[in-house]
Amino acid sequence: MRERNALLFRRAVPVGVALILLVTAGLVGYFGIEDLGEALAFTGRFTGALFVVAAAVMAVSVIAVLDHWFWRSYQNSGLVVVAGTGLAFMVNSMLLITMIRDAEQKRYLLLWLVLAVGSAWALYASYRADVVIPSPKRFGIAVMATTVVAVADFGYSQLYEPYEQPTHMIFEASLGDPVYTAESTVISLPVDIKIVNGGKVGVYVLATEYQVLGRKAAVRPDGRERNEWRDDAVADYPISLYTDIEYFDLVRKAKFLPTYGEWLNPGEEVNVAQVVEVPAAASYDTMQLRAFAIIARKDRMGLEGGLWFPADFSWEHPEKFGKEVEFIEYRSRIHENNAIAEFAREPRSIAIRQYVNDAELPAIAVLRKGEEYREMSLAEFDDMVTRYGLISITTGWKEKSLRRPDR
């Protein structure tokens, strides 16, 4: 009975080792093939190629397991098993670290915890199974060197590289000289906007808007009292000695690119020219312009389809969104920049709100699939901005006087 149990145990060891190698090779091979064809950055694709090679080595090691424990036809099959299980332990350990950082479902974290522990046991069992290692020192140095290279590449592609290249956008907006009709009843004001991707990575232009405001003001030659300056500060107006700001009217707001979710490759630029018309009877003394955009890096996220069609209108759901602020919401599924993150994280969609009835700028959120648009916590917002390379850019306010020099 003891001999039978001992025999079963001896046979269970190679079966367990082969199983660990097969499962690891299958998962790593899947990640490798996905990243080799779909990763958004070069280093992600290089990592995919390394994963494919690692999966092939572990698959060959399964055959070596059978040969070393049962067939004994190849003298160095035990050495191949040690190399394969060592590689499995290294890969599973790195993936376990990634799952600790990114996994949002506990079963994935548990899976890699089991695989990391299992591959450590497989390495130990293989090493103890009468394996002859020629030149142990050289073998140890080779293993250490391979480990260092693999860890360095994995850390670079998963942690450092996605944040290395800075995003550099050139963003300008200007108001041209006003043009008056012969009857002086309408004032036309040219608007010019330019956006250039001056960096080395492509970007999605997720949301764009320009706003034109008309200002009415009264000049008091005798000057204003200092206590009136407080009102300027509270209203977020420039503190002025002579000018009373009556109010700002939102004259126009619009996207300056035809659709949300367009992209700009490195060096690409877009120039937009439009004309804003206001009645002279509105008595604006100054017009103000600002342009705004939200950018995401193409090497950190993939946008499925686009953001061309509205997904929701707030005024159709007053019970959900209220009646005070009206907006149009656009949504699209997004994908992570590598297969591991795509596997570990729950599906997410991007939501952009374009406000209609006030000067509020577009708002953006990246939320799990099925979640309603909601207020994000500070930690969620920081993670969203960092992970996807989101930045908000604005030209600041540009002013143009409408006072005619002949009046």
Three-state SS annotation for the chain: CHHHHHHHHHHHHHHHHHHHHHHHHHHHHHHHHHHHHHCCCHHHHHHHHHHHHHHHHHHHHHHHHHHHHHHCCCCCHHHHHHHHHHHHHHHHHHHHHHHHHHCCCHHHHHHHHHHHHHHHHHHHHHHCCCCCCCCHHHHHHHHHHHHHHHHHHHHHHHHHHHHCCCCCEEEEEEECCCEECCCCCEEEEEEEEEEEECCCCCEEEEEEEEEEEEEEEEECCCCCCHHHHHHHHHCCCCCCCCEEEEEEEEEEEECCCCCECEEECCCCEEEEEEEEEEEHHHCCCEEEEEEEEEEEECCCEEECCCECCCCEEHHHCHHHHCCCCCEEEEEEEEEECCHHHHHHCCCEEEEEEEECCCCCCCEEEEEECCCCCCCCCHHHHHHHHHHHCCEEEECCCEEEECCCCCC
Q: Using CA atoms, how far apart are residues 37 and 48, in angstroms rounded to an integer?
A: 8
Could you give the C-alpha distances from 179 to 56, 176, 186, in angstroms and in order? 71, 9, 8
The pLDDT value given to residue 323: 75
Percent of the chain with pLDDT over 90: 20
pTM: 0.76
DSSP bridge partners of 211: 253, 290
pLDDT tens string 161-172: 555 567 889 999
Work out the pLDDT band at 148, boundaries 50, 70, 90: low
pLDDT tens string 113-137: 999 999 888 888 887 766 555 555 5
Q: Using CA atoms, how far apart are residues 361 and 209, in angstroms rounded to an integer?
A: 7
Q: Which sequence spans correspond to the domains of the chain?
A: 2-163, 169-401
The pLDDT value given to residue 143: 52
The pLDDT value given to residue 8: 47
The pLDDT value given to residue 209: 94
The pLDDT value given to residue 273: 95
24, 118 Cβ separation under 8 angstroms: no
Work out the pLDDT band at 6, boundaries 50, 70, 90: very low
342, 336 Cβ separation under 8 angstroms: yes
Q: Using CA atoms, how far apart are residues 206 and 260, in angstroms rounded to an integer?
A: 5
Mean pLDDT of 99-110: 80
pLDDT tens string 320-366: 777 778 899 898 888 888 888 888 888 888 889 899 877 789 988 88
212, 265 Cβ separation under 8 angstroms: no
CB burial class (10 A; 0-12, 13-18, 19+) of residue 41?
buried
Mean pLDDT of 188-215: 92
Which are the contacts of 113, defined by CB distance < 8 A and separation ≥ 6? 96
CA proximity to 191, closest of 276, 292, 258, 254: 276
Q: Would strands 179-180 and 169-175 be described as parallel, antiparallel, or unpaired?
A: unpaired
Q: How many CA atoms lie within 13 A of 283 on its CB side?
A: 5
